Each structure stands twice: as structure tokens, then as C-alpha cells.
Amino acid sequence: MNDLIKKLVEAYGPSGFEDHMRDLIRPEVEPYVDEMSVDALGNLITLKKGDGSGLKVMIAAHMDEIGVMVTHITKEGFLRFTNIGGVRPHGLWGSRVQFANGVIGMIGSDRIDDRSKIHPLSKHYIDVGATSAEDCPVGVGDAAGFVQPFFTNGKLLTSKTMDDRIGCVVAIEALKRLETTPHDVYFVFSVQEEVGTRGAEAAANGIDPDVGIALDVTITGDVPECPPMSVSLGKGAAIKVKDSGMIAHAGLVRLMRQRAEAANIAHQMEVLDGGSTDARSIQIANGGAAAGCISIPCRYVHSQSETVHADDVQACIDLLVEILSKPIEL
């Protein structure tokens, strides 16, 4: 599975620019689905048909990543930029970014006299080796994603864009294992989650599912001086109960817990103070849906070294297969 993880996490795909990601995922899922389409926003929507006795279920994992977009090019050829999604200024200096055309740039910042302070995004720039605005190889409006290779440290897996390429991996691997299901299951690889769960909202409005499950990362409470949270690496799939955007459907939470316990799948309960997922959009689309989230515990979310545990990833795959392979009674 690490080969698939490496291929997806190292790829380019900021919010709004997910075409390359879609091209990578399409051949991975095509042999296992009955239908496949791309909607107007760019969501890759696949359908695995059930036997007709179940529900309409939407599984959502977002393809996009946080990034930056050029807003201005100085006369000396340096790029000023804005954020795409939750980019944190304190992790920018010295970072590398890559544009769709392959150009790589280094991020620097204006002079700062008080090193205890952090410049805002507006005081940072990207150096792509240009000497003027005229010879700059990228332009205003071009987007870039961060550059960081995937590596393993025992069972710890680290890279940029684990949020949410690891959710895409969980969806792909579950789809490969899901031989039969009573449900019509729509596996949606969604766009623009990092800027407001926009892709999932459009997809859910089109699909109108009975049940929706997002696959996304969540932060952990197992590092020094972090906010208290009962999620840790290596302790299994995190079953979301609540985050800042939604309260998960109580019946779906109960079902997830029961299936995990019955199959001896390691799991933990998640209550997240900040942030939300595609499940929020699914929950309130059209007339509403029973929505929840299977979360992959992740350290250093929205950094270039997002870290997950291989056992947790496998537990999320196992739990999703257990849910989809049997009737869903809420």
C-alpha cells in the first residue's frame, strides 16, 4: 500500500486544481466500479452497485491539498502570494513549492528585526530564480502545492498532503476489497474541501444519499503540550462524534462502534474542537442525510510533515468494509 500512498501524497493538486490527482486515482478505481463520471466542479464520482436491498451511500475523500496562489510579481521577479486553505505562516520560511508546470520555488520573507515574531503571509515571497517580472516562469493566478517526499519510520508514515490523500487511499483499498454490498455505494473523490467542503456539497446535492461517510484526517492529543484530545496514533480508526461543523448522526456512530467491536477492529472516539470535513456538507445537502466520519489520526496536520500510523490506516479500511458489506440499520 505504501507505493499507492507515495504516488498520491507527493502529487500536485491544490484546491481548484485537482485534475492531475483525478487522473492518478481514476485507473486505481476503474476496475472495481460499475459507473464513473466527473461533475462540473471536478469531483470524481464512482458507483459500485449493490444488490438492490440496501441504501444509497456516499463515501467522500477529498483530493485537494492546501497551497498558495500568486497575487503579484515584483519588478525583481519575486512572487507575492495568498493562501489556498489553511496555510500557517510560521511554517513557511524555507519551504519549497511546486507549480503545475513543474517550476519549484523557495519561500523567503521580508526582513524581521524581532525574531520572536512571525511575519504574516503578505510579508513572504517565493523565489523561482527569475530576475524580473518579464522572465518569471509563472504568472498571477498560478497555484502551487508544497514539496516534501514521503518517508516511513517504522509504522509511521510521513509526507505533505496526508490530508487527505490518505483518505483517498482508504477509499481505494476498501473499494478493492468490497466484493459485494447490499448498497449502491458512491465513492466520491472530492475537490475544494480545504476551502469550504465545496466539492462534497455539489456531489451530495447530485447524489442525494441516505447515508454519507467522510474519510479524513483528524488531529491527535499524543504530542507534548497539545490541547487535550482522546485520539492517538496507533490506537485505531477514529469514529467522529462531533467537530466544529457537525454532530455526527448518533445511529451511524453507534453502528460504526458496533461493527468495530464485533470485528475486533481497533478504534477510538473523536471529538474535535476545531475544523470539519466533507461530512458536514453531506449532512445538510438536499433534505439531509445520516452523516458521519471515519477519521485517520494524524500528527502535524496542515504542515509538510503530516504523520499517520500504518495500523490506523488499515483499521479505517477494515471498518469501512465492515460497514459497507452488510445492511445499515440506523
Q: What is the pLDDT of residues 13-59, one digit of tens each?
A: 999 999 999 999 999 999 999 999 999 999 999 999 999 999 999 99
Q: Is the model's pLDDT at 119 over the cut of 90? A: no
Domain check: are 192 and 167 in the same one?
yes
Domain check: are 8 and 103 in the same one?
no
Residue 151 lies in a domain: no
Q: Is the model's pLDDT at 114 over the cut of 90? A: no
Q: Is the model's pLDDT at 132 over the cut of 90? A: yes
Burial state string for 259-275 with b = 16 or more CB within 10 A and e = fewer than 16: bbeeeebebbebebeeb
- Give me the catalytic one of 28, 173, 193, 322: 193
**Cα–Cα distance, 153 to 32 (Å, whole number):** 31
**Cα–Cα distance, 123 to 105 (Å, whole number):** 16
Any alpha helices (H) in 30-152, and if so which ranges?
none
Residue 101 lies in a domain: yes
Segment 192-214, tens digit of pLDDT: 999 999 999 999 999 999 999 99
Segment 214-231, tens digit of pLDDT: 999 999 999 998 888 999
* Residue 35 CA from chain centroid, whole number: 23
Q: Is the model's pLDDT at 112 over the cut of 90? A: no
Segment 241-277, tens digit of pLDDT: 999 999 999 999 999 999 999 999 999 999 999 899 9
The amino acid present at 184, given as its one-letter code, is D
Find cell 509504522 and name the residue: 155
Nine-digit cell at 92? 513557511
Question: 101 with 137: CB under 8 angstroms?
Answer: yes
Domain check: are 194 and 301 in the same one?
yes
> How many domains is the chain partitioned into structurally?
2
270 is catalytic: no
pLDDT for 226 equals 87
What is the CATH number for 82? 2.40.30.40
Q: Is the model's pLDDT at 182 over the cut of 90? A: yes
pLDDT for 194 equals 96
The radius of gyration of the chain from alpha carbons, rounded to an integer in Å, stands at 20
User: Which is nearest to 216 in space by CA: 180, 252, 189, 251?
Assistant: 189
Segment 289-319, tens digit of pLDDT: 999 999 999 999 999 999 999 999 999 999 9
Domain check: are 138 and 267 in the same one?
no
Name the average pLDDT for the chain: 96
**Cα–Cα distance, 191 to 198 (Å, whole number):** 7
Find cell 493538486 and name the residue: 13
pLDDT for 274 equals 87
